[in-house]
Structure 1
Amino acid sequence: MLNIKKPALLLALTLCGQTAFANQTETLFDTKRARHIPVTITAADSKCTIKKKCPVAFIGAGYGMAHTDYQFAQQAFHQHGYLTVEVAHELKGDPSLNPEPPYMTTRMENWHRGVQTLEFLAVELAKRYPAYDFNQLTLFGHSNGGDIAALYAAIYPAKVAKLITLDHRRMLTPRNNNIAVLTLRGSDYPADDNVLLTPQELAMYPVTQIKLKDSRHNDMYDGGPKALVERMSKELNAFLLANK
């Protein structure tokens, strides 16, 4: 059963037969895992209907960062008619992210926990927001949040339409003709072997890899240099326009 705390901000208005909210911060409860999941949900301004559903984007943070630290991305999605769900993956009491390689093994517990959270939200929020498409998700994640998103795309490929990552470095980027991918790469750390596509693979799959000059992995959020945030916003907007 879904347990929802009173929203911090609730706009009670009806759009197309559903309740719409703006910047609704709340905590959902996954009874199966006895896990509280803090989220911030922002509905689109577009007139969405059950027959003509609007898109959905899940936003995941880098490890140790707040799930609300990517407002440049949330705003871009909002401008393109998305419902956005900013998800807090890391909770007090969770095991620390394992610092030892091989990461595809040692961090899989963390990633699977994140995947379970995303799937729980996709199922439960679809009941609350029937005018939004939770079966063709757009996933956005920075660093470890991008690794979680990439694993979700590997496990539930039929439910993912787009994947955008900011310098995820451990989980393999999907090689799937049905998933459009944008990955923006920092310039200070390399990705692990096979995470990124080879030139030959890039010719085969709808994946765009862009290395951002003089960009640091830890700066790829709202608090980074203004020029970097503007560049990331520009690339994200261009990708969303090209993959409507």
Structure 2
Amino acid sequence: MQTKEFDFFDAARNRPVPVIVYFPNNSPNNTPTVIYNHGYTDPEQFTKIDEGTQKLPHKNHTYLAKFFTKKGYAFICTQHDLRSDVDGLGTIDPKSATVVTRKHLWERGVLNLLFVIEELKKQNLDLNLDRFIIGGHSNGGDIAKYFANHNPHLISHLIICDGRRCPISPCVNLRILMFEANDTSTDIGVIPDQGTEENLKRMNLEWVVVKPLNALHVGYSDDGPKELHDKVTKTIDWFLENFF
């Protein structure tokens, strides 16, 4: 596995957008690509990062990067949250609907990704950025779902590790693998209900939900145990082999 880091800057939004790309050792032409999104980064985490006791979240999913690059994929991670952000989760009303209070985080994530895709196309890396797998952990999983809701033509598969807030639009045609955890719960409405005979809300969705035994929310990052990581990668392998 090889890596390349980029410090992109979106002048239109006056925003740095750090990116790391993991490549297979022998990259094929038009390399198939995974875009993966980290969970929310709070001020306490940034303090630990400054102290050197924690990695930036976009560099904390290397077990997935190793898995995908061995299968011939490039694996792209963008750092969505910045130390300078003043509109994080600590500023929202916990009593309000999460689809409203967190929406700005998802929208910013989508803008980051669209910007990164265009910047990576300029780098002549021979990546397939016209149709790719998108995924993420926690709030990053919600960013992935929000992106897929609005750009389904770009997405082949959606892989979510305990992204529990953003609903999936029932109107899109997607193949979805969703991991849950034992210490959290998915919000009502995230998985569309069946609808009615006249309005089948899941008609275009292929959806697999998995809750591994003893899986904790934090465990889907590099901070989790190898046992869980092995279950995740084996399940992803099965999913990609059988849903295409």
Please give the range of the TM-score, normalised by the shorter of the 2 chains.
0.7 to 0.9
Partner Cα separation in structure 2 for residue 90 and residue 46 of structure 1: 32
In the TM superposition, what is the alpha-carbon distance from 1:177 to its structure 2 partner?
6.2
The percent identity for this pair of structures is: 27
Per the normalisation by structure 2, the TM-score is: 0.82
- Tell me: CA distance 1:54–1:69, structure 2 relative to 1, closer, same or farther (3 Å): same
Q: Which residue of structure 1 aligns with residue 68 of structure 2? A: 77
Q: Which residue of structure 2 aligns with residue 242 of structure 1? A: 242
Secondary structure at 2:135 match in 1: strand
Where does 1:142-221 land on structure 2 (aligned, <5 Å)? Answer: 142-175=137-170, 178-198=173-193, 205-221=205-221
Where does 1:1-244 land on structure 2 (aligned, <5 Å)? Answer: 22-49=2-29, 53-64=30-41, 66-94=57-85, 95-97=87-89, 98=92, 100=94, 101-129=96-124, 131-175=126-170, 178-198=173-193, 205-243=205-243
Partner Cα separation in structure 2 for residue 163 and residue 142 of structure 1: 12
In the TM superposition, what is the alpha-carbon distance from 1:45 to its structure 2 partner?
3.4
- Tell me: CA distance 1:155–1:177, structure 2 relative to 1, closer, same or farther (3 Å): closer
How many pairs are equivalent? 221
CA contact (8 A) 1:104 1:171 kept: yes
Secondary structure at 2:235 match in 1: helix
Partner Cα separation in structure 2 for residue 187 and residue 202 of structure 1: 25
Partner Cα separation in structure 1 for residue 242 and residue 63 of structure 2: 18
Q: For residues 118-137 of structure 1, what are the alpha-carbon distances to aligned partners after superposition, in whole Å with 9 as ceiling and x for unaligned?
A: 01111221222362211112
Gaps of 5+ in 1: 1-20
- Tell me: CA distance 1:177–1:35, structure 2 relative to 1, closer, same or farther (3 Å): closer
Which structure: greater helix fraction?
Answer: 2
- Tell me: CA distance 1:36–1:217, structure 2 relative to 1, closer, same or farther (3 Å): same
Code of the residue aligned with 2:237 in structure 1: it is: N
Partner Cα separation in structure 1 for residue 159 and residue 110 of structure 2: 16
Q: Which residue of structure 1 aligns with residue 45 of structure 2? A: none
CA contact (8 A) 1:80 1:240 kept: no
Secondary structure at 1:190 match in 2: coil
